[in-house]
Structure 1
Amino acid sequence: MGKPIDITVYGADQICASCVNLPSSKDTYEWLQAAITRKYGQDHINYVYVDIFSPPEKEKHQQFAQRVVDEEFFYPVVLVDNEVAGEGNPKLKTIYRMLEARGLNTLE
């Protein structure tokens, strides 16, 4: 396995208006981390949570957060190596496929 895979979740404390009855962005972030770790382990994956209303200083996070605030995406938005893997209610199967396409193998 080469360089680590980056999983970034963009979200906010408040649930988006279109996402009523879905988990919060932070809950989705924690759920994804647990599910992915169970299937693939902890090695080779970096997780980042970005609050869209107070993104960190990194320009790429600020720019993408602004796109979410501008309603280009429903949050939470999940990126795998800067590629959108899901939004609003992300699907694990889609994220798993993207991880495996990057060379990640399931635990035995």
Structure 2
Amino acid sequence: MNNQEVEIVVYGAEQLCPSCVNLPSSKETFEWLEAAIARKFPDQPFKITYVDIYQPIGESEKLDFAKKVIEEDMFYPVVVIKEKIVGEGNPRLKTVFAELEKHGYKGI
């Protein structure tokens, strides 16, 4: 079981990305991911942070990455774990879970 907290960062925006019309909003994806991770990895600490790409706040690396999402026309939300992009546009739980498992998380 993992005792080291990993931060999952979800970069998104209030407005849906133009290519993501039928998908949930970035905020809905953030809430869905948070609930799914808590269910899959109970009693294992994790931190999930939402960063609005148009009004980013936080550490400089988060500000820089938010700018990169806009400049590179990435599909958002973009999900990042330990500086690795694990989801873009419509993130897959299987991919997010696999990355967390690489960091010592044990799923149920």
Q: One fold, TM greater than 0.5?
A: yes
Q: Find the residue that maps to 1:18 and give its secondary structure.
A: coil
Deviation at residue 72 of structure 1 after TM alignment: 4.2
TM-score with structure 2 setting the length: 0.92
Unaligned segments of structure 1, at least 5 residues: none
User: Please, what is the CA RMSD of the aligned residues?
Assistant: 1.3
Counterpart of 2:19 in structure 1 is 18
Aligned residue identity for 1:63: D
Counterpart of 1:88 in structure 2 is 89
Counterpart of 1:79 in structure 2 is 80
Instruction: Find the aligned partners of 1:25 and 1:56 in 2 and give their Cα distance.
Output: 16
CA contact (8 A) 2:57 2:63 kept: yes
TM-score with structure 1 setting the length: 0.92
Aligned residue identity for 1:8: V
Aligned residue identity for 1:59: S
Aligned residue identity for 1:17: P
Instruction: Find the aligned partners of 2:43 and 2:4 in 1 and give their Cα distance.
Output: 14
CA contact (8 A) 2:30 2:50 kept: yes
Deviation at residue 42 of structure 1 after TM alignment: 5.0
Instruction: Find the aligned partners of 2:106 and 2:71 in 1 and give their Cα distance.
Output: 36
Counterpart of 2:53 in structure 1 is 52
The Cα offsets for residues 31-61 of structure 1, whole Å up to 9 and x where unpaired, read as 0001111110253201100000011142101
Aligned residue identity for 2:46: I
Deviation at residue 2 of structure 1 after TM alignment: 4.7
Unaligned segments of structure 2, at least 5 residues: none
Aligned residue identity for 1:70: E
Aligned residue identity for 2:77: P
Instruction: Find the aligned partners of 1:2 and 1:73 in 2 and give their Cα distance.
Output: 32
Instruction: Find the aligned partners of 2:26 and 2:35 in 1 and give their Cα distance.
Output: 14
Deviation at residue 11 of structure 1 after TM alignment: 0.1
